[in-house]
Each structure stands twice: as structure tokens, then as C-alpha cells.
Amino acid sequence: DGGITQSPKYLFRKEGQNVTLSCEQNLNHDAMYWYRQDPGQGLRLIYYSQIVNDFQKGDIAEGYSVSREKKESFPLTVTSAQKNPTAFYLCASSRGQLGSGNTIYFGEGSWLTVV
Amino acid sequence: SQKIEQNSEALNIQEGKTATLTCNYTNYSPAYLQWYRQDPGRGPVFLLLIRENEKEKRKERLKVTFDTTLKQSLFHITASQPADSATYLCALDAGGFKTIFGAGTRLFVKA
């Protein structure tokens, strides 16, 4: 079945360490996204990519980096510059521009905890 | 700035009753509004989309209304079941590839 696969489900980061969250989709969607979810807050957009080799900063991009070398893959790196990285991270995709009424498909999420 | 509000308090209802969740927004005129369901520790799942020129949308036991004058959407689950217990997120298009999500309302349906 088509969908979005995120890995790992649980990840622990030590102070000063960079970690990378994987996201793969087989929905043949052009657009992909990374959101962060904290308790009591709505999802916040970190980065998004409209097409391969292109990506744009979202509302909270500081301390994060992404790449989009393949249509299916959109990995997120949480760098040591992100001072409060403990959160639930969600990867998502859509067929096209959301303003056209396209819906967002989400992965199962990854929990990142700083130890 | 654009703001979207959902009732932060959990909603507790008895099985068989109708659950009604509210989504209010300010400083924006979205072309459409979406509702998602999220179970604990999992990603949100799309439920319904309603456009600005539609007043009501139905899907099985779900009904969504969209009042652009009041800047409000209501989400109804009729004949609720314990399996409907989850967090429900309201989302508005913010233009292009951006969507604004509410924090969600937690629903508990008691058997």
C-alpha cells in the first residue's frame, strides 16, 4: 500500500550531536513537508519542498536542515544549533499545492528526545 | 497574524450522543478548511475538506459546517462510538504550500 514511512520511531540525541530523521514516500507526490508537534500546540512547519532539489524554510527552520535529492525522500537533520529539539516530528506529502485543495498525508511520526 | 483556536479542554460524551467540536479563526479568509483525526503517538489522518463556498459537508457519521462570516467551523460526529475517541485537528490553508493547524481537541467517548 502507498504511504509515508518515517524512521526511526524513537531517537535520542546527546547534547551537541546532529541527528537525521528519515522520510520516504511511495505516493508519487511532488510536495513534501516536515512538521514539529509539541504538547498543546498546533503542528508547526519546519521545511517544505515543492519538487526535487528545491526546498523552502517554514516557520521554525532555525537549527534544522533538509535535502531533496530524490522525489521519494526528504530527510530532516536536527543540528546541535536547535536548542530545544525534544518533540514529535511528522513528515508529510501532498499531490500539489495545498491552496488547490490537496490534502496532506502524514507519516507515523518520530519521537526525538534529548538526553 | 493568522490565528486558529480549538477548545483546549477535552470533550467527554456518552456513546450514541453527537459530539460537536469547534474551530475558530481570525485575521484570515481561507479558501478551504480541513479536519484531521490524530490518535496518540501517530500521525494525523485526513477526514474532511470543506471549501469557502460550501456551508456543509457530510461523510458517513461526520458532518462539517463552515461559516465564513462567523469565521468558524463545526465538526459533528453523530452516534458516537468509543472508537471515535481521538484528537481532532482543524487546519486552514495559508496559501501556497502552507497550512495552519489548530492544537486540536481531545474527544473521549464513554461506553
| pLDDT tens track for A58-93 | 999 999 999 999 999 999 999 988 889 999 999 999
Cβ–Cβ gap A101/B103 under 8 Å: no
Closest chain B residue to the Cα of A30, Cα to Cα: B97
Other residues' Cβ atoms within 10 Å of the Cβ of residue A61 = 17
Which residue among A41, A45, A103 sits closest to B98, beta carbon to beta carbon? Answer: A45
**B4-49 tens-digit pLDDT:** 999 878 999 999 999 999 999 998 888 889 999 999 999 999 999 9
Which residue among B89, B97, B104 sits closest to A97, beta carbon to beta carbon? Answer: B97
Are the beta carbons of A74 and A60 closer than 8 angstroms?
no
pLDDT of residue A1: 64
User: Can the peptide bond before residue A85 be classed as cis, meaning omega within 30 degrees of 0?
Assistant: no
pLDDT of residue A30: 94
Distance of alpha carbon A96 from alpha carbon A50, whole angstroms: 8
Average pLDDT score, chain B: 93
Helix (H, G, I), strand (E, B) or coil at A28: coil
